[in-house]
Structure 1
């Protein structure tokens, strides 16, 4: 049962049997063992691990089926020759994990990193995998990391190739979602495969760099490599070890049992340590002198490469530090051309991107910012260096000029990591598919800054004390204390340091006046517990039934938070000394129970451990900056039900005549939608067509959306001109939201729809699909030409949002869309409170109430229960509908939902007519799945890059060349 794939199990058992007696080929006892196995059964654990690994494996040589599907699992069973009863038993014990895997947009590359090679050279990866399992990672989580890290390494250049090539790639994760685990896995596999110099660019602060160094030391480099030749039993020899004062040393640091070089592998030499950034190459040039058993051959020759030690350094993204590194490397000489190197750039959209204005460049010369220039020099000095950036906000990276060969554009690959299991992200705070406003996620976790009594900062502080007490209660009732080691609250109102001190003083005053251990304090906490935390508690976790049960833990929570005489620490400053506070070092400090007040430094790359309550009011006009502020995203094991976000609603942005009122929660929702759309588009275009990529990374920028006018995807100096010309969307739900705001535009649009409104049938029909609930609607079938004329004449507040889809529907692209007609569906409202109106003499129509939630843009317009019938008519789903739906299904027919929408209480004339200027005729549609040939690419771009000053249409057939 190797990585070469599953084999006939009973035949393999016969071959491997050491006995002279025939092996027992009756699988019934094996089935019975699986059926009766306990959770910790070793045999079940082995099969869970193997089946999960086979399920997850991307494009294995032994299978043509898609990973994580019942078809893949069935193929595995076929190859194992398992019968139906055993398959059923294993499926019950090890269900197919259907969550999506990594999504890869890539240029064509030369395969070299096969599963066989990975299995044969896997010393550090195997060690890392064992560590993750000891930490409690599930088989699915380990297999997911295995596949995602393999996808990165296989797209790097073969470290043993003769001609040097430096791949450039980007890995996109979620904010605070464990990107470090991925690049640790990538580093482990890369050095196993032969990369011998690893440079990790680990943040812009010593604190962040030190955290990354410690993580790599603990989970990858290990005790024996840290100790080197030092005797672990000699106290005097340990004085120089940088972890002697670390409470996790050595117990939680990985150990190999002996120096790796004594175990048939190779050692790792650290060129930086936890407390020491790169200063200079110790021992000078000799630090990068590699052992060569075959001195006449280059280092990258396999005879030399696999015997050499690996060097790893974690370097701060700082101009002077990088200058020292570049200066020292220049002294090394020709050997640099032989070293397979890997550069990992954590938070690669921060500081690394060149932000100088191209218009100010001298002719033929690119002017670079300091850190971007030093990274470019590093890549030039190391011709075999591979550059992999990691970020949760990729917009700045994909907007880099792709023709700048010395810059960091991810020309070779872009990999989007899946949302990890247990991660609290967008969907936990925003009800993205709820058209009616506040949904379950918002009710559970989101609170406004103000209520009818004023500012809710006191309530947020009370919530912080309550959640601390609840953590202590759960720890006392059997929940692991490890997730509760730190307990923090974040208060982020401004980037101005002068305001932080005043805010900290205000919080301290409120805290000391709160009387948490007195009757008034307990009365407030009891009321908040009943109103909020008990009402939304996860009852699978210990939760007190009354405040009286929780009360004994409140005093201890108050004591922990107030330790040192103050509950607040301020996180800001211009120098490293401002961050050298013990309570900011979550690795070294046993228990951080504090309220953190700050600005920019509390975002990007800084993980606020144990974050439970956030009070957030800061505005910004850049989507990537705003997303990075979302420190409340992340893993909250044992307390995710306690997480609360107090966020500004109706905040003021700017001053004077340009001031505008914004809603921060809706701004986050908008950029979350942008991010989800970006990931969905990557998923859509990732499959190969005829074995070639549909799009390459150079064609990604136009896929970046901007739904909120005042929030740009990234800073202006990080964006270049790119235009999405056409989006082909066969079988895909499309929902425009950028309708006009003025009555003239709305009236114009309503009049455009008059021919369709006139044609709608008067008699309602009942529509349903599968087991879904039925709804009443008026319908009509209209020719494609009729609908196309309507859509051409419509006006939009943001025309670019719909124009690429219109380009496709008009058949103006390379391949005209194959659409005959459309079924237009106007759902009827059944509520007794419904309002009906006549429109342009037609109807009556049931009016839907919707709100613009992001500037001129609406949120969700269509209702999920209405979509299934439309998707079925267009052939986008296989599930059959009721007879009425089925009679409308045609191969070249699309479906469109039309909603007469009002934004406020409608003003109706005495005869029940509504003014066309008061009405938004909103629509969503799905083009017939057959409208584009299955082998045809789906997008066409127009983009401008610096090598061609005129606009160029990038033809899809040339995308892979």
Structure 2
């Protein structure tokens, strides 16, 4: 009689083989596939080649059981595959999954059980921009037994991760690993890629999954570049040790008390993953740590043997599967420090194992910091910056090394010169991770899509009203806002204790509760700030009537109204009296040890404690600068007091420590932000800065998503064509440091059905007059009475409504007009003009005419007379953000009707708008702008000289106006490898193949 273990092994192998034959194509009849594989496997295998046997396992299976794991990958792939011939349903839908089951020929009970164990992930999937690659990471091609990925997946499930989230991580990590080189391939190939996440969004979970899958596939040296600070490196090391490496690999026969985690509560509580024995004794392979929580990489000297790889078959190279899958992996988490990396480079040069045989994975956390070369190599005697030089050395000496950078601020990486073969440009792939489940990011603090007036905004519909509070400081002695932020910190602490007591969290509790004060990177400022905050704390009177009265007022005016509409089922006190008993315990928990404040800045004289969230529960106020500005996770962060300025988007975004996961207290998060800060002679708005970054980031991700769709199986663009997708919304905030910018020029931008809004209008009097005179006949041809236009968005409960004069232009007349417009920076509109010419005259005409709209204000003010007829039109008060660029010109509500008329949106629900809809029709929206210098003294209905008017416009091309080949971009780019050749035309699709 077959033992249960033997039966399980046969069943696993049978299903693995059957599904492996299907993975690269469509699903096939399951029982027939099982029977076919059973004939080759063993005589007793036929007993398990039935659906009845499969059902017997599914009825008692858990989501992490081995047989379910075998099924998870093919089901997920079939769910996610784009443009398949065997299903008419879109990816990630119940309909697509039903088609899979029909092709498999399985019963209703099997379908239901599989849906329960492997639910359809309907979340957005990762977006991939990639060069062509040879598929190798598919079940039937893999050798060796998957070990670390199934264990990691199981750990996440046991930690309470929703199954859909784990499935999304599985799919996203596949997208990375499949674009690395096959570690067993005879020919070495070095893949370089970039993974773009969100600030504080769990990128570590993704690269831990990538490492797990990579070592299972055969990568045997993993180098994690863990930031530039010891605390960040240690945090990353602990996370990988706990969730991936496991207890047995950490101890390696030593006692529990000899572990470097002996003082870590999670170690004694059994939260580190465990295998039951060393993986090598269970038929898998071990992971040898070359670094520990407290120790970065050290020169090995005589211990260099620790880096040696033993070959079971000495006559074969290490990458041969007969050696590779019987060899331990090495893992090191290394700080981005020149001296540390130099030790590693020197040690690798000493080992006997040929470096050309070792499959290596380099994971670069926060890859836009320190890793990017900032020296202009075109200058004589220029050298790479130190960290970039060491990474370059590693890549040169390890020909089988794969480089994967991780960052939430990718602009510096995509601006790297793609022709520099020694650098880290992501030549093979850029992957944009989806926004994580329950993540609270920049969008959640801004009202990006809401077209609401100040009077319409409420705590329920406005993120800004709910979470953002302005810092208004009259003078250097004014601590009113800081005191209010500290009061909010104590009040939200009491709210957390209240929720714990009411049991709404189940068996969970709030281990950490923190406030971050970030005003400067300078240690002398931190010293002064420590004194101020300490004084405020001890004078706050939280246990007395004065403090209680302030908290009562703050609860009634802030906490109560916000939580009433945003608590998402969490307990909310009916009154301050119900919360009051928790205020004393909250204040004592924060300051009962007489140390309510932790300074984290490297100054040993004033550092008041250790921000080690792994070793203890922390309910404290944190003061810091650079140490807390990138990568390091501030756990339990609820109140942020932020006045720090930055000159580029990457730096400012990384300071947003208030982004992250706020389960159970999302409604309590508050951001106190310096709204008007003086930089030089300019007043800047930090809130505006973060909003601009958010728009830049979302535009970048949207562009990647659009261009990730392949055409005839080939990519529309490859990573070296990505730089033109990076935008800049406000003048004082560049995408990244100027010395990291890479030049590229966009030739054609095809935008069917999408709103486009050029902003580079001229300032010269003659050019302004020319443009105004050019557009005046069009304005005069419009309807004499405005019509009401609206567009209803039922799901959002929003209606965009406005009045506009209307008219029409034929296609060639519109092209003639925009061809004659003068610009302050012609290169900005040139890609649009090339597209408009293409769809009008350069090929088969794809546009018949253009509807013209001139939006009019609801109130009879802000009107000017334009032209000889004396007609009056609404003008728009706009100013240039940076000469010659304006910021946003249009109002959000104007865009939806225009997009609907051009076919870019479904029915508007408005009869007037629908009457304007026609195939092959575009929309032009005109905006007479009066800048502030000309608005002084202007009264309603005044005539204005044409040279004082900026005639701006936005447009939407017909949604049907697409290129024959489906491509949306045409580029030229400056290629540094082509000396003396400034522009290289890359209109042809082209893609770099690889083994």
Same structural fold, with TM-score higher than 0.5 when normalized by the shorter chain:
yes
Give the CA deviation at 1:550: 1.0
Give the CA deviation at 1:652: 0.6
- Counterpart CA distance in 1 for 2:760 and 2:316 is 63
Q: Does 1:300 align with 2:319?
A: yes
- Name the CA shift for 1:819/1:70 in 2 (closer, same or farther; >3 Å): farther
* Alignment match, 2:531: 505
* Alignment match, 1:547: 576
* Alignment match, 2:440: 424
* Alignment match, 2:163: 139
Q: Does 1:238 align with 2:268?
A: no
Once the two structures are overlaid, the 10-residue window that deviates more, 139-148 or 772-781, is 772-781
Q: Does 1:821 align with 2:839?
A: no
* Alignment match, 2:520: 494
* Alignment match, 2:341: 322
Q: Does 1:952 align with 2:969?
A: no
Contact 2:121-2:168 at 8 Å conserved across structures: no
Once the two structures are overlaid, the 10-residue window that deviates more, 117-126 or 538-547, is 117-126
Q: Does 1:559 align with 2:584?
A: no
Once the two structures are overlaid, the 10-residue window that deviates more, 772-781 or 145-154, is 772-781
CA RMSD of aligned residues (A): 4.0
Q: Secondary structure at the match of 2:632?
A: coil
- Counterpart CA distance in 2 for 1:164 and 1:397 is 24
Q: Secondary structure at the match of 2:267?
A: coil
* Alignment match, 1:719: 741
Which of 104, 112, 118 is the matching residue for 2:128?
104
- Counterpart CA distance in 2 for 1:711 and 1:615 is 21
Task: List per-residue Cα deviations over 1:805-851 (Å, max 9, x = no partner).
Answer: 2332244999657333211223455x567766544346544556778
- Counterpart CA distance in 2 for 1:583 and 1:468 is 20
- Name the CA shift for 1:85/1:918 in 2 (closer, same or farther; >3 Å): farther
Once the two structures are overlaid, the 10-residue window that deviates more, 719-728 or 670-679, is 719-728
- Counterpart CA distance in 2 for 1:290 and 1:759 is 80
Q: Does 1:182 align with 2:210?
A: no
Give the CA deviation at 1:626: 0.9
Q: Does 1:675 align with 2:704?
A: no
- Counterpart CA distance in 2 for 1:544 and 1:386 is 54
Contact 1:435-1:850 at 8 Å conserved across structures: no
- Counterpart CA distance in 1 for 2:988 and 2:870 is 47
Alignment: residue pair count: 936
For 1:249-264, list aligned pairs within 5 A.
249-250=267-268, 251-264=270-283
Which of 583, 597, 601 is the matching residue for 2:610?
583
Give the CA deviation at 1:897: 3.1
Which of 406, 411, 432 is the matching residue for 1:395?
411
Task: List per-residue Cα deviations over 1:528-564 (Å, max 9, x = no partner).
Answer: 1111111111331101111111111111111122143
Which of 464, 469, 472 is the matching residue for 2:497?
472
Once the two structures are overlaid, the 10-residue window that deviates more, 688-697 or 853-862, is 853-862
Q: Secondary structure at the match of 1:219?
A: helix
Task: List per-residue Cα deviations over 1:636-683 (Å, max 9, x = no partner).
Answer: 1111111111111221113xxxx2111111111112211111111111
Task: List per-residue Cα deviations over 1:163-200 (Å, max 9, x = no partner).
Answer: 11111111111111111001100000000000001111
* Alignment match, 1:234: none
Give the CA deviation at 1:293: 2.0
Once the two structures are overlaid, the 10-residue window that deviates more, 906-915 or 281-290, is 906-915
- Counterpart CA distance in 1 for 2:906 and 2:941 is 44
- Counterpart CA distance in 1 for 2:638 and 2:882 is 27
- Counterpart CA distance in 1 for 2:453 and 2:911 is 34
* Alignment match, 1:352: 371
Which of 539, 545, 551 is the matching residue for 1:519?
545
Contact 2:872-2:941 at 8 Å conserved across structures: no
Q: Secondary structure at the match of 1:613?
A: strand
Contact 1:616-1:648 at 8 Å conserved across structures: yes
- Name the CA shift for 1:334/1:259 in 2 (closer, same or farther; >3 Å): closer
- Name the CA shift for 1:544/1:452 in 2 (closer, same or farther; >3 Å): farther
- Counterpart CA distance in 2 for 1:865 and 1:155 is 42
* Alignment match, 2:11: none
Q: Secondary structure at the match of 1:583?
A: coil
* Alignment match, 1:456: 481
- Counterpart CA distance in 2 for 1:163 and 1:727 is 39
- Name the CA shift for 1:842/1:470 in 2 (closer, same or farther; >3 Å): farther
- Name the CA shift for 1:856/1:137 in 2 (closer, same or farther; >3 Å): farther
- Counterpart CA distance in 1 for 2:472 and 2:640 is 14
- Counterpart CA distance in 2 for 1:170 and 1:197 is 19
Contact 1:740-1:856 at 8 Å conserved across structures: yes
Q: Does 1:311 align with 2:365?
A: no
Q: Does 1:225 align with 2:253?
A: no
- Name the CA shift for 1:138/1:751 in 2 (closer, same or farther; >3 Å): farther
Give the CA deviation at 1:632: 0.9
- Name the CA shift for 1:437/1:668 in 2 (closer, same or farther; >3 Å): farther
- Name the CA shift for 1:765/1:99 in 2 (closer, same or farther; >3 Å): farther
- Counterpart CA distance in 2 for 1:299 and 1:559 is 59
Task: List per-residue Cα deviations over 1:404-461 (Å, max 9, x = no partner).
Answer: 1111111111111111011111210111224556650111111111189965111111
- Counterpart CA distance in 2 for 1:463 and 1:810 is 57
- Counterpart CA distance in 1 for 2:951 and 2:239 is 55
* Alignment match, 2:150: 126
Once the two structures are overlaid, the 10-residue window that deviates more, 734-743 or 46-55, is 46-55
Once the two structures are overlaid, the 10-residue window that deviates more, 709-718 or 409-418, is 709-718
Contact 1:729-1:938 at 8 Å conserved across structures: yes
Contact 1:757-1:842 at 8 Å conserved across structures: no
* Alignment match, 1:198: 222
Once the two structures are overlaid, the 10-residue window that deviates more, 631-640 or 748-757, is 748-757
- Name the CA shift for 1:948/1:906 in 2 (closer, same or farther; >3 Å): same
Q: Secondary structure at the match of 2:712?
A: coil
- Counterpart CA distance in 1 for 2:489 and 2:823 is 45
Give the CA deviation at 1:718: 1.4
* Alignment match, 2:189: 165
* Alignment match, 2:137: 113
Q: Secondary structure at the match of 1:484?
A: coil
- Name the CA shift for 1:769/1:239 in 2 (closer, same or farther; >3 Å): closer
Give the CA deviation at 1:88: 11
Which of 928, 937, 950 is the matching residue for 2:958?
928
- Name the CA shift for 1:887/1:61 in 2 (closer, same or farther; >3 Å): closer
- Name the CA shift for 1:188/1:519 in 2 (closer, same or farther; >3 Å): same
- Name the CA shift for 1:89/1:245 in 2 (closer, same or farther; >3 Å): closer
Contact 2:451-2:892 at 8 Å conserved across structures: no
- Counterpart CA distance in 1 for 2:645 and 2:766 is 32
Q: Secondary structure at the match of 1:534?
A: helix
Contact 1:435-1:861 at 8 Å conserved across structures: no
Contact 1:694-1:960 at 8 Å conserved across structures: no
- Name the CA shift for 1:573/1:583 in 2 (closer, same or farther; >3 Å): closer
* Alignment match, 1:603: 629
Give the CA deviation at 1:571: 1.9
- Name the CA shift for 1:99/1:778 in 2 (closer, same or farther; >3 Å): farther
Which TM-score applies when normalising by structure 2?
A: 0.85
- Counterpart CA distance in 2 for 1:327 and 1:456 is 53
- Name the CA shift for 1:734/1:203 in 2 (closer, same or farther; >3 Å): same
- Name the CA shift for 1:163/1:598 in 2 (closer, same or farther; >3 Å): same
Task: List per-residue Cα deviations over 1:385-406 (Å, max 9, x = no partner).
Answer: 1111111111111111211111
Task: List per-residue Cα deviations over 1:667-719 (Å, max 9, x = no partner).
Answer: 11112211111111111111112222111111112221122222222112212
- Name the CA shift for 1:883/1:59 in 2 (closer, same or farther; >3 Å): closer
- Counterpart CA distance in 2 for 1:864 and 1:757 is 22
Q: Does 1:708 align with 2:730?
A: yes
